[in-house]
Amino acid sequence: MASQPEVRPPLSVLGGRPEGLAVKLRSLGEPREALPIPKAVVELLDESARRVVREPGAGPLRVSKSLLTLLDRCEALALAPAEPSPLTHAMAVGRLVDHSVAFALTRGVVDRPSVVAIAMAEASGDDELLSVLSGSVDTLTEEDQALLEEANSGAARLGTSRPRSVMALAQSSVEVPLGGRRVLLGGRFDVEFLRAGVPGSVGILEVKAGSFRDEHRADGYWYALLAALRDGVAPAWVIGWSPAAGEFDYFDAVHATAAASALVSAARRVSDAIDRLARLNESTEPLEIAVRRSGWWCGGCPLRAGCPLAPASAEGFDRTAAGRDEHDF
């Protein structure tokens, strides 16, 4: 069973405008004392990674946020062949929000952010997104347009708070090798703010198009852990921001004890995942020994037909049904 987060920083909801975030962004330009990554975090993960056995030429065991989520739900689901899931309208709008935020941080407010976001998708060669939206703003609802406008104006205000010494890196990829490269942790920050070469002067912004669920807290800890392992010190903060729902304060190194505890918590979850994946990988019949759990995710599982635990009725796939997500935090 995955480790549960032990510390819960305060949830702050301020509406769509990222006021608290602006303050934190300004603070990156000021001198700060970096919080070293707890020794226990490094040791725990290194021990787990060194237990992993890899075939020659197989490359490292890759651990991502989505794999952790799948493992939390059901080990068989995590082993299921990854089938490319079709991009939904909501997911496409989420990508446009990312573009809109990146645009605003670079150029500021624009009259029709939806048009600009689609142009950014075109220049990025995101054919999948363009296909879902038929390459036109006409397929966007009024709510979608309002969301993009809020994302644009909110992020533009944020951009004005960015000290000159702080760089903004959109879609910043991070990878952390563990245990002599037996394991590779990987992820991508929506926006990474940093002062080049200044330990601890890193802020991570995760942009959400919709509302926050408490399970996103584990994602926030995961991002903090990735940055901390990469840098050797904790990031200054990790914040989720939704133009619709406000800010979600995942991690703040100012609260050193809580921050260290959050990193240990995230490390336990990852260490647990590595151990489980190693056990499954070493087996000749991994699906036979996988610990299965049923839930709403069974509806989209490619292994559902032969699974003894998958609910027989459609109600079992309803995410809002009683007893859903026993793994939700």
Partner 1 sequence: MTSEPAVSEILDRVAAAVASLAPAEGEGRPGRDRLVWINQHIVTGALTCPRSVADGGTYVESAANLRRRVGTYALVETAEAEQSGRPIDNLRAARRVVQEADDLLGSNVASWIEGLAPGGRTAVVVEAAAWMGSVLDTLARSVDEHVSWNWQRPQVWREWTPPGSAVLFRARADALSTNNLRSPALSALIVLDRSADLQRDRIEAGFLAVVSAAVSGLAPRSVALCRVRERRIEPVPVDDALLEAAAAAIVAGVEAKVAGLGASAVPGRHCRWCAVRPVCPDAAPG
Q: Which residues bind partner 1 (CB under 8 A)?
A: 59, 81, 99, 102-103, 105-107, 110, 115-125, 164-165, 167-177, 181, 184, 186, 194, 196-198, 230-231
Minimum separation from the CB atom of position 88 to partner 1 (A): 21
Task: Specify the length of the chain in residues.
Answer: 329
Based on CB atoms, which residue is closest to partner 1, 196 or 314? Answer: 196
Hey, what are 313's tokens?
């009725």
Distances (CA, A) of 146 to 153, 246, 312: 11, 15, 40
Whole-number Å distance between alpha carbons of 176 and 305: 37
Minimum separation from the CB atom of position 99 to partner 1 (A): 7
Based on CB atoms, which residue is closest to partner 1, 196 or 322? Answer: 196
Minimum separation from the CB atom of position 201 to partner 1 (A): 10
Burial of 221 (0-12, 13-18, 19+ CB in 10 A): buried
169, 3 in Cβ contact below 8 A?
no
Q: Which residues pair with 239 in a beta bridge?
A: 205, 249
Based on CB atoms, which residue is closest to partner 1, 37 or 310? Answer: 37
Minimum separation from the CB atom of position 3 to partner 1 (A): 25
Based on CB atoms, which residue is closest to partner 1, 57 or 308? Answer: 57
Question: Does the CA dihedral 223-225-230-232 come out positive or negative?
Answer: positive
Minimum separation from the CB atom of position 305 to partner 1 (A): 19
Hey, what are 77's tokens?
């689901």
Based on CB atoms, which residue is closest to partner 1, 226 or 260? Answer: 226
Whole-number Å distance between alpha carbons of 113 and 227: 31
Q: Which among 14, 2, 24, 5 is positioned nearest to 258, based on CA atoms?
A: 5
DSSP string, 219-273: HHHHHHHHHHHHHSB--SEEEEEETTTEEEEEEETTSHHHHHHHHHHHHHHHHHH
Minimum separation from the CB atom of position 326 to partner 1 (A): 32
Based on CB atoms, which residue is closest to partner 1, 39 or 164? Answer: 164
Based on CB atoms, which residue is closest to partner 1, 22 or 258? Answer: 22
Burial of 314 (0-12, 13-18, 19+ CB in 10 A): exposed
Whole-number Å distance between alpha carbons of 34 and 221: 17
Minimum separation from the CB atom of position 135 to partner 1 (A): 10
Based on CB atoms, which residue is closest to partner 1, 177 or 316? Answer: 177
Minimum separation from the CB atom of position 65 to partner 1 (A): 15
Based on CB atoms, which residue is closest to partner 1, 35 or 110? Answer: 110
One-letter amino acid at 80 equals: A
Minimum separation from the CB atom of position 324 to partner 1 (A): 31
